[in-house]
Structure 1
């Protein structure tokens, strides 16, 4: 049975872009139901042309589940934008299919997303422990340590965040690019007069590792999409990264992070594609 939201409560449309992960989607829907405080208005799943089309029995869940599908691969940004256009809630909450919101996720969202804030984003925690996962988590924690709770930030976790629907639509949604669309939304919101705030209590557990090859590809793509850089500036970024790595605590993760930074820095020095 669906939980009854209190009068005047937010109506949250949870948006999940997914590809070839039906088991993860089932687990995520179960996790959403477990931590819903009554404000989940709907869950919108966007199947990005999975090899076997995603099937969901909406009757099994205590909230409406809507399933949209791309007939060809478009990427997470396009899927989230489609859901944003179709959503009927006043808040869009973004989760990855391989993420699990912690039990207080909706309670934190409800309290933290005030009308003075266009959007909020939180912390990502790992539920895997490979070298790639540890390396990625170190980068996350290094970023978090630079921000106090509630501060304005220039990053946005597309798998752990919420935004007022009207602000999202006014900004034009995520840039439709393969990599770095999350932070592109921050820029678009800022141009429209909105700001993203860091809420460390908004936490999800996430599968951090998709393999070293994918991590390298993402680092390279992010560099190709970034503003062009001189070789000297790229070397400085590489040197700065080398100084901040956890060499004594986790040399394997440190070495991998430095390799990813090398790929990213090199990519910024090449002529624009």
Structure 2
């Protein structure tokens, strides 16, 4: 719907920025996350970090309070214990934010040092309401992580190329506060698709353009078990169903058992023998050998998520500032 352009920079443009991070049972991620936040090159006096505990059951709340005590002028702690939803937690952070730009990432992400500096620079253009940075993979450790890295599963290039309208994932996204004042906040009871929804509402209201800042990089760990991988792709399917109900997005075609069987047979009798020979010659990896069955596994999970999802009436609620 809206034209994508690439980022420009200006050393003189330094608006106040509020970074909102929802956290649920993030005990294991917090040390590395905080190190990444403290390493940001954006001027600290123009920056605030709002870490929102979403009813964690581990030591997250204790750790957050310890961190806030160490860095009281930079890190603020909020809590969202009424609604178990990352979008409700983000809304809590937005309401507490004082910045003219509100940025977002997640607890399991690893922003690179210049991330905020590069992500915020395009807002010098007053017609820009949304800036999207890139998400790259942390070094893969096992087969499933290598598969996802090969597919660039987390890359924003997929969401920016969405045929309905481009959007950015909240793992690496910034929005002008004025835009949020006009269209409202995230839908707090939605459990997936809220990032697309808020970006589309802003663009559909012609409040401002979306711009891509490819050098504003956040790293993220891919799912490393079949259970996590299935959950991820089922969520993608649910998201598509919700966005179909909310915005009329076209539903994805289901992959039938017959089609799945045909592709597995083709893999077993044609692709696998060929790739096995390449592997012996050092020209193919285990990911090459298993690419088709893993791809079918994720496709079936996404189709199941879309097929089984039902949007609740409460999920249509939009909170306001």
Tell me the distance in 2 between the aligned counterparts of 1:201 and 1:106: 10
- Does the 8 Å contact 1:220/1:263 carry over to 2? yes
CA 1:210–1:156 in 2, change beyond 3 Å: closer, same or farther?
Answer: farther
Decide which of 207, 212, 218 is 2:226's aligned counterpart: 212
Task: Out of 126-135 and 177-186, give the one that drifted further.
Answer: 126-135
CA 1:96–1:178 in 2, change beyond 3 Å: closer, same or farther?
Answer: same
CA 1:268–1:166 in 2, change beyond 3 Å: closer, same or farther?
Answer: same
CA 1:259–1:68 in 2, change beyond 3 Å: closer, same or farther?
Answer: same
Decide which of 67, 91, 108 is 2:77's aligned counterpart: 67
**Alpha-carbon deviation of 1:64?**
2.2
* TM-score (ref. length: structure 2): 0.68
> Unmatched 5+ residue regions in structure 1?
1-5
Task: Out of 170-179 and 41-50, give the one that drifted further.
Answer: 170-179
Task: Out of 226-235 and 186-195, give the one that drifted further.
Answer: 226-235
- Does the 8 Å contact 1:186/1:195 carry over to 2? no
CA 1:230–1:17 in 2, change beyond 3 Å: closer, same or farther?
Answer: closer
- For the pair 1:175 / 2:195, whether they are aligned, the reply is no
Secondary structure at the aligned position of 2:170 is classed as: coil
Tell me which protein shows more helix as a share of its residues: 2
Structure with the greater alpha carbon radius of gyration? 2
**Alpha-carbon deviation of 1:78?**
1.0
RMSD: 3.5
- 1:8-19 to 2 correspondence within 5 Å? 9-19=14-24
Tell me the distance in 1 between the aligned counterparts of 2:173 and 2:226: 26
- Does the 8 Å contact 1:134/1:253 carry over to 2? no
Q: How far does the alpha carbon of each residue in 1:31-51 deviate from its partner, in whole angstroms, 9 at most, with x for none?
A: 122123206421001101111
Q: Match of 2:87?
A: 77
> Unmatched 5+ residue regions in structure 2?
1-10, 264-274, 276-283, 312-321
CA 1:14–1:143 in 2, change beyond 3 Å: closer, same or farther?
Answer: closer
* TM-score (ref. length: structure 1): 0.79
